């Protein structure tokens, strides 16, 4: 396996798999460009060395053929701006890094444009998912894509858990010294490995969000590694009910009560402390303007529901976090989208930031916890914010991610 940093890209056609699956509004404006901007350092490094960059990505969920609303052409202007950030008002291609667009990801036009690229120029290919062969991991399609570049760089951590043509299968058409992770992928893998395999203890995992069923595998894997597991959010009430608590109308997965008990029992055997919220902010309905109260989490009155962790829970959880050397956070502590129920998530975010300032390594990942640290302006106060939701979750479930394995093979 070659590494990005020791490869010389001068004069080479570098086929880079990126994750440009950004949200757009109805006027095709990008509402959150995190995924695009996260991969810009990789692109700029290749360009600075005199490489030619050919970008490929999926975008949305087209039904296997071209669809205007899922065309990557909507992203060209913004890509140009990101690559020429000193010159944001300049029209496309007028000075700075040139960005071309091919309205197909394979075929004659893509091939010719790729061949005609000059060092320092960028070509964005049309949405890979306009071919159903992409998600099917079709070899012939992967081979066609591979012909566009001399080197393959995978910088799409967000899709690393998919064995698609452009994320995994394509790698077999490049020799070991011509396939590698991009800078984003490299740092995602390094951060995840640090937490999974080199965690300094105490190691606290904070797991929240709505559903136990989504998080069982990650909790089970963390039982082998963490010293403490904090469970908050809607999923905590299934555990509280399993332990005999009264949870009123709080979120509960009755078919997971046994699983919850098994997890609590396993934790005891493995000497892992599981922390459930002592108290909760309860509400008389699921509404931003609901009436609220604070009660022990296992004594929620009928008709009321726990929508955030309470002040005692915040205190206890923060203390555990403060004493940690490694922290992994996935999932909010409450319905942080509503102001009345955001204190728990915000306080935990602050505790993670404090622990980080005191030398802990903290990794935040998974859509909603990332949204939370961004909302509270704390993203630069934690050690690493992962860009991969599903991929990050699967990594921490202990699965081998096809996009990573394909490069390492």
Positions that interact with ligand AMP (CB under 6 A): 209-211, 214, 233-234, 251, 306-307, 331-332, 334-335, 337, 366, 368
Find the shortest distance in angstroms from Cβ 275 to ligand AMP.
16
Find the shortest distance in angstroms from Cβ 389 to ligand AMP.
9
Tell me the three state secondary structure of residue 132: helix
Give per-residue burial for 201-239: e unless 16+ CB within 10 Å, then b: ebbbbbbbbbebebbbebbebbbebbbbbbbbbbbbbbb
Name the residue among 125, 140, 163 with its Cα closest to residue 14: 125
**Shorter beta-carbon distance to ligand AMP: residue 4 or 237:** 237
Sequence-ordered list of residues with C-beta below 8 angstroms from that of 128, at least 6 positions apart, any chain: 56, 57, 58, 105, 134, 145, 164, 165, 166
Could you write out the DSSP letters of every residue in 176-245?
Answer: GGGEEE-HHHHHHHHHHHHHHHSPPSSEEEEE-SS-HHHHHHHHHHHHTT-SEEEE-STTHHHHHHHTT-
Rounded to whole angstroms, the Cα distance separating 244 from 222 reads 24
Residue nearest ligand AMP, CB atom distance: 209
Order across the sheet with 279-283: list the strands: 292-296, 279-283, 305-309
Sequence-ordered list of residues with C-beta below 8 angstroms from that of 79, at least 6 positions apart, any chain: 20, 36, 55, 99, 122, 124
**Shorter beta-carbon distance to ligand AMP: residue 207 or 407:** 207
**Shorter beta-carbon distance to ligand AMP: residue 83 or 230:** 230
In the structure encoding, which two tokens stand for residue 91, read together? Answer: 């029209």
Tell me the three state secondary structure of residue 283: strand
Q: What are phi and psi of 138, to 5 degrees?
A: -70, 130
**Shorter beta-carbon distance to ligand AMP: residue 310 or 331:** 331
Beta bridge partners of 101: 124
Q: Do the Cβ atoms of 308 and 341 come closer than 8 Å?
A: yes
Using the structure block, give the residue that is written with the tokens 């998080």: 215
Beta bridge partners of 296: 279
Find the shortest distance in angstroms from Cβ 311 to ligand AMP.
16
**Shorter beta-carbon distance to ligand AMP: residue 182 or 332:** 332
**Shorter beta-carbon distance to ligand AMP: residue 51 or 306:** 306
Rounded to whole angstroms, the Cα distance separating 177 from 4 reads 10
**Shorter beta-carbon distance to ligand AMP: residue 123 or 206:** 206
- Residues marked as catalytic: 35, 211, 367, 390
């Amino acid at each position: 396996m070659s590494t990005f940093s020791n490869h010389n890209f001068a004069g080479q056609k570098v086929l880079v798999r990126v994750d440009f699956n950004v949200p757009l509004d109805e006027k095709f404006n990008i509402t959150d460009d995190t995924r695009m901007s996260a991969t810009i350092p990789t692109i700029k490094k290749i360009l600075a060395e005199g490489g030619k960059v050919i970008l490929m990505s999926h975008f949305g969920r087209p039904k296997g053929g071209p669809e205007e609303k899922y065309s990557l052409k909507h992203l060209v202007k913004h890509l140009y701006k990101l690559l020429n950030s000193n010159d944001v008002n300049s029209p496309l291609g007028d000075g700075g890094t040139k960005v071309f667009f091919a309205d197909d990801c394979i075929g004659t036009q893509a091939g010719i444009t790729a061949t005609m690229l000059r060092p320092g120029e960028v070509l964005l290919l049309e949405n890979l998912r306009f071919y159903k062969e992409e998600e099917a991991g079709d070899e012939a399609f992967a081979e066609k894509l591979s012909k566009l570049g001399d080197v393959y760089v995978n910088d799409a951590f967000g899709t690393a858990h998919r064995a698609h043509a452009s994320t995994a299968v394509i790698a077999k058409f490049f020799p070991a010294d011509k396939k590698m992770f991009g800078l984003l992928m490299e740092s995602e893998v390094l951060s995840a490995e640090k937490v999974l395999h080199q965690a300094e203890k105490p190691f606290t995992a904070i797991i929240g969000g709505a559903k136990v069923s989504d998080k069982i595998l990650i909790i089970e894997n963390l039982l082998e590694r963490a010293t403490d597991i904090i469970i908050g959010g809607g999923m905590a009430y299934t555990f509280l009910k399993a332990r005999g608590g009264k949870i009123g109308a709080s979120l509960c997965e009755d078919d997971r009560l046994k699983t919850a008990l098994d997890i609590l029992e396993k934790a005891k055997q493995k000497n892992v402390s599981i922390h459930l919220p002592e108290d909760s902010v309860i509400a008389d309905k699921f509404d931003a303007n609901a009436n609220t109260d604070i009660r022990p989490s296992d004594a929620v009155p009928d008709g009321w529901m726990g929508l955030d962790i309470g002040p005692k829970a915040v205190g206890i959880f923060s203390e555990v976090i403060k004493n940690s050397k490694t922290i992994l956070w996935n999932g909010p502590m409450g319905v942080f989208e509503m102001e009345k129920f955001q204190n728990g998530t915000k306080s935990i975010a602050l505790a993670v930031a404090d622990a980080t300032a005191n030398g802990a390594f903290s990794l935040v990942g998974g859509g909603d916890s990332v949204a939370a640290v961004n909302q509270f302006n704390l993203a630069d106060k934690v050690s690493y914010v992962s860009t991969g939701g599903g991929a990050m979750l699967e990594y921490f479930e202990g699965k081998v991610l096809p996009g990573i394995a394909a490069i390492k093979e």
